[in-house]
Amino acid sequence: MANPTFTLPARGATPELKLSKKAPKSPDAFVVPVLKGEEGPELPASALLDDTALRNVLNSLTAVGATGKVCEVTRIPAPEGVAADSVIAVGLGDPEELTDETVRRAAGTVARALSGMKAVATTLGVFGLAAAVEGIALGAYNYRGIRSESKDNGNGNGTVGKVIFVSDEKSATAEFETARITAEAVLLARDLVNTPSSHLYPESYAAILAEQAEEAGLVVEVLEEKSLKKGGFGGILAVGQGSERGPRLVRLSWTPKKKAKKSVALVGKGITFDTGGISIKPAASMENMVSDMGGSAAVAATVIAAARLNLPVKITATMPLAENMPDGRALRPGDVITHYGGTTSEIINTDAEGRLVLADALAYASEDKPDYLIETATLTGAQMVALGVRTSGVMGSEELRDRLAATGRSVGEPAWAMPLLEEQEEELKSPVADIRNAHPNRWGGMEFAGLYLSRFIGEGIEWAHVDIAGPSYNTGGVHGYTPKRASGVPVRTFLALLTEIAEEG
Ligand code: BES
Ligand code: MN
Ligand code: ZN
C-alpha cells in the first residue's frame, strides 16, 4: 500500500526530547521555572541548582527586574559553580493560579528563546511533566517549507537541538512517553497541513498517510476513483471532478490486541485545496486554503498516536480527500448529486464542498455502528464569525457534544457547544433533491452545516461535529505554544477523549 514515490517535501524542525534522572554534563543552558511572589520573583528548589546557586540566580533575576509573571523569559549568565553557560528563567505567575495550560504556554514561549542552542536541561516538569513536554515540543516546532540551499539563511533549522527533562519521580517515564507521543501526533498533523497543495493532493496525501499508518501497525485501505464510483460515493466524486488530480477515500483502522469495550469512528475533511470551485473564492487570502484538509490530518494523526499509545479502544478513521477546482468538468450550482447511502443533494454553492465529501464519509462510517462518531472539519467561515479564531464550534448529540467541548477546554484547545437550529430544517429543503447544500441567508452558517451533516449520521449513533475553520490554522501571530500556520488542533482533545473512552466500561 505504501508508495515511496510520495513523501512530505519538508518537516518542521523539532528538538529531540529526553528524560533524565540527573543533570546532563554542561548543556548550553538550564531552563528553570520562576514564580511571581508577593515580594518579587520566587525560585523553587531545583535539581539543577544547589542552594548557593539558587540564591545567586535569584539575586541576578531580581537585579535585572524579573518578576516571574506568566511567560516572562529572562536569561542570565550562569553563576559560578553552575555547569551550564546560562540560566534561563521562565515565569509561571502566581502559584495559586497555576494550571497545566500555564505550564504549556510558558514552556512554548521559552522553547522559542532556545533557538540555535545544541542542548538544554530543564526542571519545568516539576509543575507538570506532560504539560512541559507538550509545551516545549509544540512551541519549538519550526516549519520552513521548501527552500533552495543557497537561499537558506544559515541560522540552522531555527530550533533547539535537544531538551532534557530532569525528573527523578517514579511515574515520570510513562507520563513522559505519553506526552512525547501526543506532541508528535500534533506535529504530524501540523506538517501535513503546512505542506503546500502542489505537493499534497489526494493521491500523494493518501500515500503519505498509508506509509505513516503502516509504520504504526494500522490496517490501511485506500479507495481510488474506480472504487469510489462502484461504491456510490457521489459527494466525494462530485467535489473531485473539477480537478485533474482525482479524489480518494482513506481508512485507517486500529484494533487493540485485547478486545476493546468501545469503538469510535473518526471522520475528517480532506480538501487538499479549496478554490471554491465554480462558486470561486476571492483571490485575497485564498492561499490559506492549503489548510482545508486540517480535519483529516487531525484524525489521521490521532489514530496513529492511539496505536502507538496502545489505547484499548477500537478506532476507524475515515478521510475523504479531494481537490475543489473550477474546470470544464467541475460541479455546477443547480446540479443534483447522490451521496453514499442514497440521499440526494442540490448544489446551491460549490464552495460548500466540505459537507458534500463528509456526507459520504459519515454515511459510510455509520455502517460500522460505532459507539461514538466524531468528525472534524475546516467547514465554515461562520465558525470564526461566531466564536473567533481560537475556539472550535461543537455540534451533535447533546452529551457527546458537551463532553467533547469540555475536554477541549481542559487540554487548552478551547471549544464551545453550539445548537442545531429548528428553523433551519425548513431551509434545508430543496425543490429538486432531498436536501440542499447551502441556505439562502447569512444567519447561522456553522449551524446550518452541522444540520446538513446530521442527515448522514446512522440511526441512534452518538455523534459530534467539530468546526475547526479558525483554530486549526493560525493566520495571526505566534502565541504560547501555537506557531503561525498549522496548529494541530484538535489532536490533543481527541486523544484525551479517546483515553477517557478507553477506560469506560
Ligand atoms: N473551507 C471553507 C471554510 C473556511 C473558510 C475555512 C475560511 C477556513 C477559513 C469551506 O469550504 C467554505 O468555503 N465554506 C463556505 C460555505 C458557504 C459557501 C455556505 C463559507 O463558510 O463561506
Ligand atoms: Mn469551500
Ligand atoms: Zn472547504
Residue 242 phi, psi (nearest 5)? -90, 5
Counting atoms of ligand 1 from 1, which one is nearest the CA of 279? 18
Q: By CB neighbour count within 10 A (0-12 exposed, 13-18 middle, 19+ buried), where does 16 fall?
A: exposed
Closest ligand to C-alpha of residue 449 is: 1
**Domain map (residue ranges) of the chain:** 16-164, 182-504
Of 325, 345, 346, 351, the one to substitute when testing ligand 1's pocket (max ligand atoms within 8 A of C-beta) is 351
CA of 348 to the centre of ligand 2 (A): 12
Measure 428 CA to ligand 1 centroid, in angstroms.
18
Strands 270-274, 485-486: pairing is unpaired
The pLDDT value given to residue 170: 87
Compute, in angstroms, the gap from residue 279 CA to the centroid of ligand 3. 12
User: Looking at residue 154, what is its pLDDT?
Assistant: 62
DSSP assignment of 336-376 equals EEE-TTS-EEE-S-TT--HHHHHHHHHHHHHTT--SEEEEE
**Residue 281 near residue 273 (C-beta atoms within 8 A):** no
Binding site membership of 385 for ligand 1 (Cβ less than 6 Å): no
Which pLDDT value is given to residue 483?
98
Cβ-Cβ contacts under 8 Å for 260 (sequence gap 6 or more): 312, 313, 314, 502
**Per-residue model confidence (pLDDT) at position 151:** 58
Q: Which ligand 1 atom minimizes the distance to the CA of 292?
A: 1
In short, whether 175's Cβ falls inside 6 Å of ligand 1 is: no
Cβ–ligand 1 distance for 191 under 6 Å, the answer: no
For residues 304 and 231, give the distance between their C-alpha atoms in angstroms, rounded to a whole number.
26
Q: How many CA atoms lie within 13 A of 121 on its CB side?
A: 20
Q: 16-164 maps to which CATH number?
A: 3.40.220.10
Q: Is the CB of 446 under 6 A from ligand 1?
A: no
Residue type, 387: L
What pLDDT score was predicted for residue 152?
59
Q: Whose CA is nearest to atom 8 of ligand 1?
A: 469
Ion ligand 3: residue ranges with CB closer than 5 A: 271, 274, 292, 354
| Cell 429548528 belongs to residue | 422
| SS3 of residue 29 by DSSP | strand
Residue 195 CB less than 6 A away from ligand 1: no
Peptide bond into 9 cis (omega under 30): no
Residue of minimum CA distance from atom 16 in ligand 1: 352
Kindly state if the Cβ of 381 falls inside 6 Å of ligand 1.
yes
Q: What is the DSSP letter of 282?
A: P
Give how far Cα 166 sits from Cα of 23, 24, 30, 181, Å. Answer: 6, 9, 10, 18
What residue ranges in 78-206 does DSSP mark as E strands? 86-93, 119-122, 162-166
pLDDT tens figures, 298-345:
999 999 999 999 999 999 999 999 999 999 999 999 999 999 999 999
Is the minimum distance from the CB of 427 to ligand 1 under 6 angstroms? Answer: no
Nearest CA to ligand 1 atom 3: 380
Choice from 380, 384, 387, 474 to test ligand 1 binding pocket (greatest atom count within 8 A of CB): 380
Residues tagged active-site: 281, 355
| Residue 276 alpha carbon, nearest atom of ligand 1 | 13
Is the four-CA dihedral 370, 372, 377, 379 of positive or negative sign?
positive
- Residues annotated as binding site? 269, 274, 292, 351, 353
- List the chain residues with pLDDT less than 50: none
The Cα-based distances of 27 to 117, 311, 429 in angstroms read: 9, 36, 65
Q: How many CA atoms lie within 13 A of 484 on its CB side?
A: 8
Return the ligand 1 atom nearest residue 291 CA.
8
Report the C-alpha gap between 156 and 182 in whole angstroms: 26
Residue ranges of the annotated binding site for Mn(2+) are 269, 274, 292, 351, 353
Q: Across the chain, how many H-helices and E-strands are there?
A: 14, 21
Q: Which residue has its alpha carbon closest to ligand 1 atom 6?
A: 469
pLDDT digits (tens, 9 = 90+) for 238-277: 999 999 999 999 999 999 999 899 999 999 999 999 999 9
Gap from CA of 371 to ligand 3 centroid (Å): 28
Q: Where are the beta strands (DSSP E) in 391-431?
A: 392-396, 415-417
- The pLDDT of residue 5 is 86
Q: Answer yes or no: is the C-beta of 239 below 6 A from any ligand 1 atom.
A: no
Q: Does the Cβ of 378 fall within 6 Å of ligand 1?
A: yes
Q: Quick one: which atom of ligand 1 is closest to the CA of 437?
A: 19
Q: Which atom of ligand 1 is nearest to the CA of 472?
A: 8
CA of 195 to the centre of ligand 2 (A): 19
Residue 292 in contact with ligand 1 by CB distance below 6 A: yes
In sequence order, the 6+-apart residues with CB closer than 8 A to the CB of 471 are 389, 390, 391, 392, 413, 414, 487, 489, 490
Pick the CATH number of 182-504 from 2.40.100.10, 3.90.850.10, 3.10.129.10, 3.40.630.10: 3.40.630.10
